[in-house]
Structure 1
């Protein structure tokens, strides 16, 4: 692949976006209503057709939750609820968006896809300068990726219809702040 672009599919995990996952009451209805599943499939298909790298960012912790921050309002209950455990069904990417052999798998232990992960070395080694971003939640990993990507001098493109918050309000609030740091387009309109 000779492209300077990567499509990042972030936290599209069974725990969050599968109808049987813990996010079934929040993310799933909003994603269905807004067409996020179909839009994300379209974005992945377009990226692959253009020979653009598709990378997967997944939040997860080892089975003993050693990396899980006990004081985090976001992650502190992961152990109690038996979610985000690496090697389990819950941390697998939803089958509709399944990675292909050779797709980068970036594991994170915090909200940001950059913090203490292999993402930055991967991007630098591959000559990536443009990030096309999708995932859940808009106000979590997507927001962190846009802001940090911007500050690390990447061109950021946010696929609005490939993102969701736990509530419509969370999504809309996050989007209102992110338009300043990224070009916002739909999966149908993105150019790879």
Structure 2
């Protein structure tokens, strides 16, 4: 059975923001149906509750672009031009906020980023080092972009890396499958919430 440490571990909750779950926000308005991503909400809520109960620190990430979208990078990818035109995930907009089910507590850290990996161009690594963290449990959206990019960077930095299959979501089942396959093949372990609850000696609960 997989051993998932409780000590020296942090939970990284990737990009559980309004824009990724509400078709009335910019991604939905640009023609990207975000409905499939809602599958990540129940498991992620449960996992955050578990981490708090176990005394495992929770770190949230948000995808946020600076005013004028100056850090968007090359105009490529799904609906890139439309997203720039609509100030998608722009600083100061309501849609960059975490969903109500997952509001960060005052003592929890929120890391803003403008690239898929939570490590790239952010203070995440110094924060983890300062906390004495050597293992990361990762959940959120989307599996094959921001979750996978963060897991790859964590694995390559020699963190024990665990991605939670029932607390992530992707636009298609195929993309979700191959992202988890790649993570398990080379960068970390893919686990279930129940495995974490068992390892952390928590009472297993039904998903919220």
Shift of 1:70: 3.4
Is 150-159 or 180-189 further displaced after alignment? 180-189
The answer as to 2:96 corresponding to 1:87 is no
CA contact (8 A) 2:34 2:171 kept: yes
Three-state SS of the structure 1 residue aligned to 2:47 is helix
Q: Report the number of matched residues.
A: 188
C-alpha distance in structure 2 between counterparts of 1:16 and 1:189, whole Å: 27
Question: Which residue matches 1:188?
Answer: 194
Shift of 1:23: 5.1
Shift of 1:30: 5.1
Question: Which residue matches 2:74?
Answer: 70
Structure 1's 162 and 23: CA in aligned 2 closer, same or farther, altered over 3 A?
Answer: farther
Question: Which residue matches 2:206?
Answer: none
Question: Which residue matches 2:11?
Answer: 7
From 152, 159, 165, the counterpart of 2:170: 165
For structure 2, list consecutive stretches of 5 or more residues without a partner in the other structure. Answer: 1-5, 201-208
Structure 1's 42 and 106: CA in aligned 2 closer, same or farther, altered over 3 A?
Answer: same
C-alpha distance in structure 2 between counterparts of 1:168 and 1:22, whole Å: 23
CA contact (8 A) 1:27 1:167 kept: no
Question: Which residue matches 1:137?
Answer: 142
CA contact (8 A) 1:132 1:159 kept: yes
C-alpha distance in structure 2 between counterparts of 1:158 and 1:5, whole Å: 13
CA contact (8 A) 1:68 1:75 kept: no
Spell out, residue by residue over 1:99-127, the C-alpha distance to the aligned partner (whole angstroms, 9 max, x if none).
11121111111111111101011011111
Structure with max Cα Rg: 2
Taking structure 2 as the reference length, the TM-score comes to 0.83
Three-state SS of the structure 1 residue aligned to 2:70 is coil
Three-state SS of the structure 1 residue aligned to 2:168 is strand
From 140, 150, 153, the counterpart of 2:155: 150
Structure 1's 82 and 99: CA in aligned 2 closer, same or farther, altered over 3 A?
Answer: same
C-alpha distance in structure 2 between counterparts of 1:176 and 1:28, whole Å: 23
Taking structure 1 as the reference length, the TM-score comes to 0.89
The answer as to 2:121 corresponding to 1:123 is no
C-alpha distance in structure 2 between counterparts of 1:65 and 1:187, whole Å: 36
C-alpha distance in structure 2 between counterparts of 1:133 and 1:165, whole Å: 14
For structure 1, list consecutive stretches of 5 or more residues without a partner in the other structure. Answer: none
From 115, 119, 137, the counterpart of 1:110: 115
C-alpha distance in structure 1 between counterparts of 2:144 and 2:100, whole Å: 24
CA contact (8 A) 2:116 2:149 kept: yes
